[in-house]
Structure 1
Amino acid sequence: MTLSPAENFIRARKGKSHPVTRKFASLYPFELDDFQIKACQALEDESGILVAAPTGSGKTVVGEFAIFRALEEGRKCFYTTPIKALSNQKYLDLVEAHGTERVGLLTGDTNVNSDAQILVMTTEVLRNMIYAQSPALVNLAFVVMDEVHYLADKFRGAVWEEILIHLDPEVLVVSLSATVSNVEEFGEWLGTVRGRTEVVLSEERPVPLYQHVLVGHRLLDLFESPGKINKDLLREERRAIQRTQFKGRGRDSGVLDKSEIIAKLDDEGLLPAIFFIFSRNGCDLAAKRCFRDGIDLTSGYEKSQIAEYVQSRTSHLPAEDLAALEFHEWAAIWERGIAVHHAGLLPLFKEIIEGLFKEGYLKVVFATETLALGINMPARTVVLEKLIKWNGESHVMITPGEYTQLTGRAGRRGIDIEGNSVILWTPSIDAAMAASLAGTRTYPLKSSFTPTYNMSANLINRLPIPRVLDSLSLSYAQYQADRSLSGVVEQIAKNQEALALALPGCEQGDFASYFKMRLEIKELEKSSINERGSRRHKALEERAERITILRRKLREHSCHSCPEREDHSRIYEKRSKLERDTLALSQKVESRRNVIPRTFERVLEVLRELGYVEAERLTDSGKKLLGVFAESDLLVAELIKADVLSALETADLPAILSGLLFEARGEEKQLPRIPKSISEAVRDVVALWARLETVEAKHGLATQREPDFSMSWSVSRWSHGGSISSVLREGDLSIGDFVRHIKQIIDLLGQLTSSDTMNSTRYQEALKSIDRGIIRYASVSA
């Protein structure tokens, strides 16, 4: 964008008043965008910042400015991300920029240079530091919270709010978010909990996005003008529907196979592409199908470069492990310029794929939606196979926000003049559905915050109960609940004004008593109709008798003969309805007001009943809960208290903990195979969980997730020395799932080492039994 002389003068004058921003901007080979400069200047003015901008717009530059300031001032900066893969990638980027001695990494199972000035970490690590009052927080000046919109996540979102509420108010927070429609509201809330916070919004994509639909071999624009679906697309869609009705799914049906789609994209000059398929198995099958069909997207030179890079990253792995990981098959596919990217891969393989893609050697990556979460892998084109995905509970349409996040990968800044999204037409995806997703720009950020047992224990340990309640009232969830009530409260006030007006009198007598009888008859008749056919004959007879008596009294009432009786009744009926509506609105306000503190009070009752809190203080058992951050935190604490864990052999501990952490994907649940050595402990775990379920239900709380021991057999085989090939073969597992699950167990064993100090040696030995071989290779490498 070319600036006028006047605009250039204003920008130059502003720059002189912000020397640190000016010095930072001079380090870049390109001119910073206005929103980047505005955010950096606000941070230089000691304001917190919320930056909301599209994917790929460069909002991380603002996070890098916080790091720059920390290094200049000799202070610390923490950079938090929602997932380990993002932390690993950011760590490697910062090491490249600032050197290994200045940058560290903490992700629960990885600890690299933890005393560094710049620490990259998963969000949970910072939350745990705050509760533990870690010495690492000393001299902390800035916290960058990347992907802060993740606080809407149903399972982990509360962690972001815990940090924003409880982090030292002197620390400046840089919140980086995707574009959300209620960014101003979120910024206002940040201002209430963090002090002065500047909201910087940019809705402009750095590379314009062109959206298409592929119908058979025809690539058509989705829109012919803003908001108007392309007429040619609608005509082609009708023809494709007719073809599918006559010919079924096939070459002429309007639905191509993956190899044909890739060939089409290559012909159109739309590679490299990320091809989103909402299934790991679907990604693997697509890549292997393209390989079998002879798709070859790389030159001889590129093949040699790929082979050399892959060799340099895998030379330390034993041949037996490589064979178990189907390495040679995948390496051959990579050399053709094709790859997959999903959570089922070994983390090292994902790093290899990200590196090859960044260098431009990979032309097509079949990926699940996890790739869209901040991983720096922009492409020229993004392809969406479907617009429906499994959300953990059912198959649902992706949201406009998810669509924007996925298509945000399209268009490489400084390389492409435009980005492209391609939706694959099928009979189940019509143009109107695609246009609705692509055209919607309203996707608000909604808090998922609710007090957990661990959170509550940590707050009780730090604050008196009244102050705990006050701090929970500061949550974004409560803020949103209160804001949602403002209109309701106004309506109640209007209703009450109307109700305060006197009703017209009746010259014949007390019409209020007359109307009250009419109302009672109406209610009795309604309930009698609802109970017809039931066996409660006596109750029906009593009700009929009561109605007869009331009708007689009505006829005898002085107002019954009033000529304006029905007019008066209509007025009283309107007033009665207004009273009912006002009561309903008041109940709505009451149910939402202080909803978060009231939830905490129910959690507190559970903790009291189970012996974790006495006289408003934590007991010894309660103190052991402080360091247990697993989703099943209370069940873990109950196992410690009941000596279930201490009765096991150390090598059996991982298999039991597996049951508290593992959650089958989708509809995979099956009857687990339980190792004999832990069968008694499994019964104890299930019995304790059933008891907790009863106590939680009694106090009106959602119950903790039921233990799932589906992975315990494989974990036991590994902890007792089994090879990775035998464990994967016997358990029918993907290496990525297995590695991630073992790392979760390692993380929990580390928590138990600190929480249950009497058994810390046993937990450390159990940890060593599983932190070996391929698990250790999965760590990040610079």
Structure 2
Amino acid sequence: MCWQPGLDPRAVAGLASRRTYPLRSSFRPTYNMAVNMVGTVGRERARVLLEQSFAQYQSDRSVVGLARSIAASRARAEQEWAGASCDRGDAEEYFRLRGRISQLEADAARERRADRRAEAIDALQGLRAGDIVDIPGKRHRAWAVVVDPGVGGGGGPTPTVLTADRQVKRLSPADFPAPPTVAGRVKIPKHFDLRSAASRRNLAAALASRLQHGPLEVADAPDVADAEAMATIAQLRAQVRAHPVHGCPDREAHARYAEAALRLERDTETAQHQADRRTNTIAVRFDRICSVLESLGYLSPDGGARVTEHGRMLARIYSELDLVTAEAVRDGVFADLTAPQLAAVLSSLVYEARGDRRNPARMPDRRSEDAQIRLRGIWRQVSLSERDHRLPSHGEPDIGFAEAIHAWASGAELFDVLMLSGLTAGDFVRWARQVVDAAGQLADAAGPGPLRTTCRELIFHVRRGVVDAAPLED
């Protein structure tokens, strides 16, 4: 509480000592809110604000932390880029070229390793007992003879080999950075027993004899990379060498700042992906709402960055079915209706039935019924668009109050209207004032013309008697 003259300290103490209740946000992005935020601060800024909102904090606290971390990392990256600036040219462009080359080279090396592993597995699966293969070592190549190909296992081939110095080894694809090559063969005795020292000695002697007859030459596996990737790398290197920053004597000092900036940008991108994967975020719902608005022409087609003329009209409509109301205005559903008929149709956009009705719900006349049919069709189309963008649909327009508000706007007495609707006087007044509020919004949204005139006439006829005397509700 803020201090003000006459503030009673005992009242403050009484409030502080009372029981506290959990504070839960009821905030949910709406179509009206989306166009207003985009029109005020822009779509990107609106998304950032929503990610840091109290509703988002309760929905997923970690996303709030991620959003703050992303914002801080972006600010630090900008500072690092400022430190990397060079008076010879665009340093950011230059170091991004270098960073792209490093990334392409890393991707190419990763693909080569994956290809070589696949080739090694294929080569190992083709080995037979007696094949002489080379085993890569840290210092020099070692030769061994395959005793058991080991192809039957489920985890890939694991051949058992005997080296020239009588060592028995079980190998796997991880031991071969390049595919092994069969350089020759020796005959495995028919009754060879790997557990027998004599058998191992005799086979090792046969392998050594084979090696003494002449060197076994195995060509290294060619370092083959994707031709398109190599061509791209060569082109980028040429651009780097031709860049004016390349000749700067302080180039590597600038590079330290640039590398830090690029690292921060990579971390930011990773954090952004983590935030985007959380489908229960307020910001994700906002994105989906903007997608619906963009598809219907309320936001510009260039990513929804601007509010269109139709979007400015929607920005003046506040209700659960705000988008349906705006679409009805665009489709001319409310045109040529009298004030009582307009009240009947508008009531279906604000009224929510509670309990059983005394009489079956229906529209008061043919013209309002036709308008209501068109309105229901618009609601179905909006619901389909929401389904396509994975948004929950809003409730169907309810005509339960249509006859009552039509009669009241036509001059009927309160007793007759309550008998017709089955509502209490308090409920009738509350829903009547909801219709008046909807008509006022519609008048502002429609702009000068016959519809605004009809809306003001509706307000004049409904705000009489007990409805005009009732206090405004929150």
> What CA deviation, in whole Å up to 9, does each residue of 1:413-453 have, x standing for no partner?
xxxxxxxxxxxxxxxxxxxxxxxxxxxx8x63333332111
2:46 maps to 1:468: yes
Decide whether the 8 Å contact of 1:481 with 1:592 is kept in 2: no
- Selected match of 1:603 from 289, 298, 311: 289
2:314 maps to 1:625: yes
> Shift of residue 590 of structure 1?
4.7
Q: Which amino acid aligns with 1:728?
A: L
Partner of 2:379: 689
2:154 maps to 1:554: yes
Q: Which amino acid aligns with 1:702?
A: P
Change (3 A) 1:486 1:634: closer
Change (3 A) 1:556 1:454: closer
**Distance across 1 between alignment mates of 2:24 and 2:393:** 22
TM-score by length of 2: 0.52
> Shift of residue 619 of structure 1?
2.0
Write out aligned runs for 1:501-516 (5 A).
none
Change (3 A) 1:667 1:478: farther
Partner of 1:24: 6
Partner of 2:350: 661
**Distance across 1 between alignment mates of 2:289 and 2:51:** 15
**Distance across 1 between alignment mates of 2:347 and 2:405:** 7
> Shift of residue 666 of structure 1?
5.1
Write out aligned runs for 1:62-461 (5 A).
202=16, 204-205=17-18, 444-461=22-39
Partner of 1:613: 299
Decide whether the 8 Å contact of 2:51 with 2:63 is kept in 1: no
**Distance across 1 between alignment mates of 2:156 and 2:441:** 78
Change (3 A) 1:559 1:482: farther
RMSD across aligned positions (CA)? 4.0
> Shift of residue 656 of structure 1?
0.4
> Shift of residue 587 of structure 1?
9.2
- Selected match of 2:463 from 757, 768, 771: 771
Q: Tell me, what secondary structure is at the counterpart of 2:154?
A: helix
Decide whether the 8 Å contact of 1:672 with 1:709 is kept in 2: yes
- Selected match of 1:745 from 435, 456, 460: 435
Partner of 1:676: 365
> What CA deviation, in whole Å up to 9, does each residue of 1:193-249 have, x standing for no partner?
xxxxxxxxx3x24xxxxxxxxxxxxxxxxxxxxxxxxxxxxxxxxxxxxxxxxxxxx
- Selected match of 1:647 from 336, 346, 358: 336
> Shift of residue 668 of structure 1?
6.1
Decide whether the 8 Å contact of 2:359 with 2:421 is kept in 1: no
Decide whether the 8 Å contact of 1:718 with 1:770 is kept in 2: yes
Partner of 2:228: none
**Distance across 1 between alignment mates of 2:425 and 2:440:** 22
**Distance across 2 between alignment mates of 1:776 and 1:770:** 8
Change (3 A) 1:485 1:623: closer
Write out aligned runs for 1:695-710 (5 A).
695-710=385-400
> Shift of residue 478 of structure 1?
2.1
Change (3 A) 1:608 1:485: closer
**Distance across 2 between alignment mates of 1:733 and 1:687:** 28
Change (3 A) 1:596 1:21: closer
Change (3 A) 1:694 1:23: closer
Decide whether the 8 Å contact of 2:363 with 2:403 is kept in 1: yes
Partner of 2:453: 761
Change (3 A) 1:445 1:779: closer
Change (3 A) 1:670 1:606: farther
**Distance across 2 between alignment mates of 1:668 and 1:552:** 75
Q: Tell me, what secondary structure is at the counterpart of 2:277?
A: helix
| Structure having the larger proportion of residues in strand | 1
- Structure number with bigger Rg: 2
Q: Tell me, what secondary structure is at the counterpart of 1:635?
A: helix
Q: Tell me, what secondary structure is at the counterpart of 2:25?
A: coil
2:417 maps to 1:727: yes
Decide whether the 8 Å contact of 1:639 with 1:685 is kept in 2: yes
Change (3 A) 1:555 1:628: closer
Change (3 A) 1:555 1:708: closer
TM-score by length of 1: 0.32
Unaligned 5+ runs, structure 1: 1-19, 37-56, 59-201, 206-403, 405-440, 489-509, 515-550, 561-585
Q: Tell me, what secondary structure is at the counterpart of 1:592?
A: coil
Decide whether the 8 Å contact of 1:670 with 1:710 is kept in 2: no
**Distance across 2 between alignment mates of 1:683 and 1:640:** 14
> Shift of residue 606 of structure 1?
0.9
State percent identity of aligned pairs. Answer: 31
**Distance across 1 between alignment mates of 2:277 and 2:425:** 47
> Shift of residue 463 of structure 1?
2.0
> Shift of residue 702 of structure 1?
1.3
Change (3 A) 1:559 1:23: farther
**Distance across 2 between alignment mates of 1:618 and 1:670:** 44
Q: Which amino acid aligns with 2:395?
A: R
> Shift of residue 621 of structure 1?
1.5
> Shift of residue 470 of structure 1?
2.1
2:325 maps to 1:636: yes
Q: Tell me, what secondary structure is at the counterpart of 1:760?
A: helix
Aligned length: 282
Q: Tell me, what secondary structure is at the counterpart of 2:10?
A: coil
2:271 maps to 1:591: no
Change (3 A) 1:483 1:649: same
Unaligned 5+ runs, structure 2: 67-116, 122-150, 161-271
